[in-house]
Structure formats: C-alpha cells, structure tokens
Structure 1
Amino acid sequence: VYNEMLVEFKDSLNFNPTALYENYPGLERYRKDAREFRADELFFKNKSESYELFLTEYYLKLEDYRSKELELKKEISSSGSKSERKKLERRLSDLKDKTIEEKKAFVKRKDNFNKAEKAFRGKKIDFRKERKTRNLVYIGRGWVKAGINLKGLTDEEIFIDDSDSLYIHILIPEPEILDVDINPWFIYTEKKKIKGFELFIAKTGSMLSSENFTDVEINSVKHKCKLRLEQNAIEKGLLRNAKSSASSTLVNFFHLLGFDKVKINFKTSDHQVVLNN
C-alpha cells in the first residue's frame, strides 16, 4: 500500500504531507527509508555497470596480451640474431610486467566491488526487515460477480426475422465485473463458521489492535484485498466463463419464447463503429 501511495500522492507528499502522515503513521518513516534505499540502489547499479564495463575491457586486454605474448615467443625462437633476440625478450618482459600490473588492478577492483555488493545486500536486508515492522496482512474470502449489462441495448442491436422461421440475432456487450464483495462471514452456519476476512499483524502474528494501525490504513488494505480478489478471478477465467454462460442462457431463454433460431454476438469497439456509421 505504501509503495503505491508514494507514486499516487507524490505531489501531496512533496508539498503538504501532514494529513497523509496523520492517517498513515508509518508512511513518513517508510518514505524516508525508501528514499535512502533507492539512493543506495541507484549508486550500486551505477557501480555494477561500471564494474561490468571494466571486466569487459580487462578481458579484452588480457586476450590481447596473450596474443602478443605468443607472437613474441615465436619471434624469439625464430630469431637468428642475439641482439634482436634480446630486444624481443625485453619486450616480452615488459609485456609480462604490464600484465601483472593489470592483474593487480583487476584484483583490487574486484575486491572493492565485492565489498560494495556485500554492503548493498546488507542494506537491502535491513530495508526489508524495516518494512515488516508495520506489516498488516488481510486474509479475505469473498465473491466476484460478473455478467452482461443489457440496459443499453438499442433497436439496431436486435434483429428479428419471421419470414420462414422465427429468428433473432442480438449484439450484446462483453461481460464485466458487477460486484466484488467480502462479507464479515463467508460461511455462517451452526456447524461451520468461516470469517469473510481477518486482519493480522504479520510481524508477531497477533490479532489486530486499534493502537497499531489507523482506520484509514486498515481500509486501504481491505481495498487492496478486493482488487487482488478481482484480479485473481479474472486470471482464473471469470469473464470468459461469464461470456459462455450469458450466451447459453440467452439462447435457452429465446428458445422458450418461441424463437427457432437464436444467434448471440458480443459487441466490440469495431461493431460499435459500424453501427454508429
């Protein structure tokens, strides 16, 4: 919830955050910690990119050194002149010294990066731990209802032909979410009682106390839970099932009214454009 608030209320937090801090007591601390962590995250990201570039350049240099080393060794072995051989050997020695210096620089850079990476991981763990100090968990059980709204049907979207056999063709809107509900009791009978929702403080597992969270915070988490419930239902095919159910229900209904043939099509933006034209 706090993550989304930092984006949604960015301007309010910059100019007048007092009211938000009153309703969300943990937001000020969370915002401060988030800013510090994001600064650390950006710093480490830049450091990582720089290190990756350094590694690429180092391995290219190393490959070049090895190639030159092999070439010099071949020239030394094939040289017939002592003076020329000595020059080549000095060049080979200089190349080896340069390679050693590059390796020392590589080891030093690698050690520094490993220390920076370890430090960042520690900050990341601390940030996550801090986030859990005021962590409210909402367990919700409810219903998501989907259906077709036929109130907006027009004459142009209903075609009836009774020339040979009674035929009806209807263009209906796509199914939509009609309601998302989490009742206080999901199941309430003498034998079985299952709450519709429960609130817990995740850190300790203890039940909710009014001293720990404000009503605004609790309602924000409840709203988030409803959104998640709706999203899960959509992902599991609720709208697809509603489409199939609506189509078969309407076909059966019009057959009962005496229509021999029934055709149901779902309205899309393309259909609407054609009808409007």
Structure 2
Amino acid sequence: MKDISFFKEKSKQIRKDIVHTAFAAQKGHIPSAFSMIEILVMLYYQLAKITPEMAQDRDRIILSKGHGCLGQYAILADLNFFPKEELLRFCSKEGILGGHPSRKVPGIEVSTGSLGHGPSLGIGMALTNKNSNVFVIVGDGECNEGSVWEAALAANKHQLDNFWIIVDYNKYQSYDHTQVICPLDDLKEKWQSFGFQCEEVDTINSPYSFMESFARLQKTKGPKCIVSHSIKGLGAKALEGNLSHHHLRSMSEDFRNQLLMEIDSHA
C-alpha cells in the first residue's frame, strides 16, 4: 500500500503534465480532467490490476466522460503504456492522442466521448470476464442520459459483483450548474434504488477516503457505485468552478505558469 504522500505528489505531477499537454496543443478540457485526478491516480496506481504487460486478466478502466481524457492520457504515459513524448502531440496529425479516448491508444479499452455509452460497454466487459473488475467513470452531467440508467438496470439484473460506477460529481456541465440544467440529488439514493451498493466520498477535503469506500464495497455483492463529490478544475484556483475554461482554446505562457504555481500550492 502506497502512502498518502505518494498519491498527493503523483496527483500534482499528473495535473502539471495535463497543463503542459494542453499548452502544447492550445486546447483541451482541463477542468473536467482535474476534478477526477485523485480518483484516477488511486485506481491506476493502487486499486486496479492494470499494467502494459497484462492482457486478458487485467482490470478495465473506462472513462465514459471522455472529454476529460487529458488526465487518463497523462497517467497512461507515466505508466509507460506509450512514450511520454506523445503528450506533446495531443490533437495533432502526427500523434495518436485525440480529443476523446480512442481504442487505438495503448491502455484505452474503448472509444468514448459520446456521453452515456461507457456503462453499457463496461457491463459487456464485466459479463465476459468476471475475474476482473470494470471501473466506469461517468460525469454528473452525463447522468442526465437515459442510457446510464438502462445500464444500471442491466448491472443489477446480472448482479455484477465486478462492475463499478464512479461518478465525478463536480456539479457542473458544459454551460451551467448541473442543478440548473437537470437536478440529480439525491444521487446516492438514486443509484441505490437501481440496486447498487453505493457510498459517497468528499474528494475536495478527504480524497483518499475513496480507498476506504473501495475496501468496504469490494466485500459486497452486486454492482457498486462511488459518488465522488469534487470541484470542476480542482487543484488550480483559476480553474475551480470557472465555466469559461470548460474547453481551452488558447493558453498564454503566463497563464500556464500561473496554473503550475497553483498546482504546487494546492494542499
């Protein structure tokens, strides 16, 4: 078990890699990636069985909210799924990394970004390999999609002990608060009503409680859900809750340096 200092430093490193990647490309959904970094770091570096060498028996991690792919790309590069230099070719004709995850990228299980599809794809994987866990990360805005709840019904029907939904509950969608567009509360109760064992974690103030929830839920039967309360842009004050930065279309060198300093100072 890695200690908390490892996860803190790794989360800062991944955020910095995201900033450098977006600066090189002059584009990218940075805040949507930042809100789930701690969760992705804990999954990839501690909880999931997944390495570049593993084949059929590995766990699966599906980023259904595919627009947040900068975080997943940075981690996969750090874990040697592909050379780190690829990050600087993000969204270029010369590179393999697109604005949404594609299966052609080593470590990406399925192409995503069309919101609501990840859970159903994950159920198929969970059904065909019950010895591996399947983790599907969805956004709270994505939970407006009916296909998410159709998948939830199927997961409960098949009592998939190895199927996990992780909700990045950052309270924002692309152009307004989730509460304004389509309220979701009580989200934990909703997932429970669909037959999921569900817990909530506070990624803002106590991010590493995720591992405690994981340990408890791992002992339960049926599909599982962790609702991760977060902030869009978590880890850099200039981005937190700022909808104008939902999708970056340019980044000055000064703003890049500001973000890097804010990441360093984040607790």
**Considering the TM-score relative to the shorter chain, is it more than 0.5?**
no
Quick check: which one's helix share is greater? 1
Quick check: which one's strand share is greater? 1
For this structure pair, what is the TM-score category when the shorter chain's length is used for normalisation?
Answer: under 0.3
Q: TM-score, normalised by structure 2?
A: 0.22
Larger radius of gyration: 1
